[in-house]
Structure 1
Amino acid sequence: MADKSQRPDVAQILAHPSYPDTIWRLTPTQTEYLPVAKGRGGPFKIHYEVHGQGPIKLVWLMGLGSRKTAWQRQTLKFGHEEGDKYSSLIFDNRGMGLSDKPIMRYSTSDMAKDVLEILDHLGWTAERELHVAGVSMGGMIAQELALMVPERICSLSLISTAAQIENTTSFVENLRTRINMFLPKSLDKSVSDAAHMLFSDAWLDLPDDTQVPDASTPNVELPPSGKYGKFETNYQRFAAQELTKRLDPEGFPKKGFMMQAIAAGWHYKSAKQLEQLGDKVGRERIMVLHGTRDNMISVPHGRKLIEMIKPGVGVIKDGYGHVFMLEDAKWHNEMVESLVQKTEKLNEGKK
């Protein structure tokens, strides 16, 4: 394993020839600022994109302090390489990215209602039509959405998430972790701390093996060089993506982060509610994934979620951190796609 102190600093990442192309230019099929939450503290606008025009509807729910571009590996596969089979919805939650950042109390249930308004606007309203995947806070929003419209859920993937945030470490360690999220710090420290919270060190120091778009990818704009480049390590690619976010104070405001953090911190679903979720959605339609090296939402949360929901697929993946969609995008995508295919067949069997 490489010495962490030898990882490149912010200045080196920004000077890397691949940095300007960190966020891929994937052309959406549909995009819009949609006013939502009228009568719920709004209206305010949520920015969304649909990639692909296929009949299978995928809904990707992002986590705390992240923007919709964090799904770009999934958007590339499901919205472009297989865009004739899938339609993928990505969007910035209230408080982040291109969406509005209203000053108000955020909750995961209200954020789920934001999603529901987008889905209704798109006409994605059929029974058993939605394949919903949520990571971290996005998984909390997914729980709320599934309880609101269980009959519209075809599959539900809950990734690195929890029924509620509990202290599974010592009081001092838990307090230190929570305070560290909000303390002012240098950009270098912010990026390295985020990397530690989200990923295993072993993965961070491996060579960057990201599958990038190329000239054969449908509906992608190539950079001026004519090709998307690679970084030397996974740490460099993550740091570059993190910097594109943190160097955009309009898209990554502190107030938005704190209001989302309050929503995630106060999220709560009882064992009874999760039992009802399993009953109404169908346990064979639900998947829970969690990593043993998750430093953001510790693995006991994932085990507890599996115990309460009893999903058709429950996997605790050894050695992995918080963000499967980056740390092992191929495995993550295969797991989601397998559930999608299985539940689509369940639909066919009921026709």
Structure 2
Amino acid sequence: MTGTYPPIPKVASTSVTMTSKIAKGHVRVCERRPRGPVDIYYELHGEGKRKVMFIPGFNVPCQGWDLQTKFFGEMPEYQAMTFDNRGAGFSSCPPGPYSTYEMAMDAFELMQALGDDWKEGVHGVGICMGGQILQELALICPPGTFASLTLITTSAGSWPSVQQMITLYRFLSEPDPLQRLHKLVDSLYTAEWLEQSPTSSYALKAIEQDGKDYKTNRDWSFDLILQRRARSPAGHPAGTLPQIIAFNLHNVSRDRLRRIRELIPEILVVTGSKDDVMYPSNSQYLADQLHGTLLNFEGCGHSPFIERCDDANAKLLEHIERAQTRFEKNREKGAKPAKVNDQKSWKEVHEESPVFANELALACI
């Protein structure tokens, strides 16, 4: 898989724009790890003290979080940060294999580079592979780094079904870029929702203020992807296979999930009842093991933060506000960060690298 994808048509105007307070740039990471260095592209939306980190999923640039970075970035008390994983968007594309642990290390070094505000009380949000990366990141970071986690349509590790592999193959093998995007839309959202008239505040605002002609949610969701592609590179085909391997080989054991729940008491797990990309049973398992709150969007597919964006954003804000209150109360009391109830120190946990996954990935290349 070499070269670049065919060009995507440019959009005439954008309805979901950047927030007014935005900073962006690159941070060099992985200088002392194999296959480095890697340049990670990031964006900061807003200037508030409360920090929310959004990790994108498989082969998706950070603009996939537009509806969330806009929502939080426009609130004066919040700052939203998102970034492109290695092999995607404006970040560099080192040779594979990749692992979710390695990409979590990229995120950890990015947080360190952004300063002290990103070293304590951060609210982490990840979808699909981004949720897998967030699990590893929660174990890498020192205690107290995260005030909350939100794991959206993700898993602790599971082999894809035959149907999932067929869907992925059909998407990646489609030569026509527009047809590929239509197949992507079909895999992310339910057929019923796609044919309904738009009702989200973002779509209605685009219709009323920007003159967009959205007849159905398919029109709106497809245009969102076109807008995202218009503001990001065409993609890194060479990064696709390494990300697929990282996604499929991800594995966080029950013991490691226990450590996460001991370190971070406020955990929200989100799923869609009709998600055919990451089955809801994966979210149920995570919620059970992490003792987290399970939020199931009935009738939703893989992307409830698009299908039910207004409700999902409100639920996420409620979760983060509750976690923030708990974090601030603990800080006022001088409470020390939670410790895992075993004999391993943070340094030992931090240095644990899933070498087996890397070796297996190498064998698959």
Q: Same fold (TM over 0.5)?
A: yes
Residue 300 in structure 1 maps to residue 281 in structure 2: yes
Letter in 2 for 1:72: D
1:12-32 deviation digits (Å, cap 9, x = unpaired):
x969xx753255243443211
Structure 1 distance, partners of 2:213, 2:262, is: 45
What is residue 10 of structure 1 aligned with on the other side?
none
- Local SS of the residue matching 2:156: coil
Structure 1: gaps spanning 5 or more residues:
1-12, 216-221
Deviation at 1:186, TM superposition (A): 2.7
Structure 1 distance, partners of 2:110, 2:136, is: 15
Structure 2 distance, partners of 1:249, 1:51, is: 17
Structure 2 distance, partners of 1:36, 1:259, is: 18
Residue 66 in structure 1 maps to residue 49 in structure 2: no
- Residue correspondence of structure 1 range 107-186 to structure 2 within 5 A: 107-124=99-116, 128-149=120-141, 150-167=143-160, 171=162, 173-186=163-176
Bigger mean CA deviation after superposition, 21-30 or 37-46: 21-30
8 Å contact from structure 1 (residues 213, 228) kept in 2: no
- Local SS of the residue matching 1:63: coil
- Local SS of the residue matching 1:151: coil
8 Å contact from structure 2 (residues 18, 70) kept in 1: no
8 Å contact from structure 1 (residues 60, 132) kept in 2: yes
Letter in 1 for 2:136: E
1:88-145 deviation digits (Å, cap 9, x = unpaired):
1011111111111112211111111111111111114576410001011110011011
Residue 336 in structure 1 maps to residue 316 in structure 2: yes
Deviation at 1:179, TM superposition (A): 3.0
Structure 2 distance, partners of 1:161, 1:208, is: 26
Using the size of structure 1 for normalisation, the TM-score is 0.83
- Residue correspondence of structure 1 range 72-87 to structure 2 within 5 A: 72-80=66-74, 82=75, 84-87=76-79
Letter in 2 for 1:77: F
Letter in 2 for 1:340: I
Letter in 2 for 1:85: E
Structure 2 distance, partners of 1:275, 1:199, is: 32
8 Å contact from structure 1 (residues 22, 240) kept in 2: no
CA gap 1:227/1:265 in 2 versus in 1, 3 angstroms: same
What is residue 25 of structure 2 aligned with on the other side?
32
Structure 2 distance, partners of 1:241, 1:65, is: 16
- Residue correspondence of structure 1 range 1-351 to structure 2 within 5 A: 19-21=12-14, 24-40=17-33, 41-80=35-74, 82=75, 84-124=76-116, 128-149=120-141, 150-167=143-160, 171=162, 173-212=163-202, 227=210, 229=212, 231-244=214-227, 250-282=233-265, 285-311=266-292, 313-350=293-330, 351=332
8 Å contact from structure 1 (residues 21, 229) kept in 2: no
8 Å contact from structure 1 (residues 292, 299) kept in 2: yes
Letter in 2 for 1:21: T
1:234-292 deviation digits (Å, cap 9, x = unpaired):
2112222334566899431222222212111111111111111111212xx10101111
Deviation at 1:196, TM superposition (A): 1.9
- Local SS of the residue matching 2:201: coil
Letter in 2 for 1:112: A
8 Å contact from structure 1 (residues 210, 230) kept in 2: no
Deviation at 1:154, TM superposition (A): 0.3
1:155-206 deviation digits (Å, cap 9, x = unpaired):
1000000001234x5x4x3442343343234334312221221111111112
Alpha carbon RMSD of aligned pairs, Å?
2.8
Q: What percent identity do the matched residue pairs reach?
A: 25
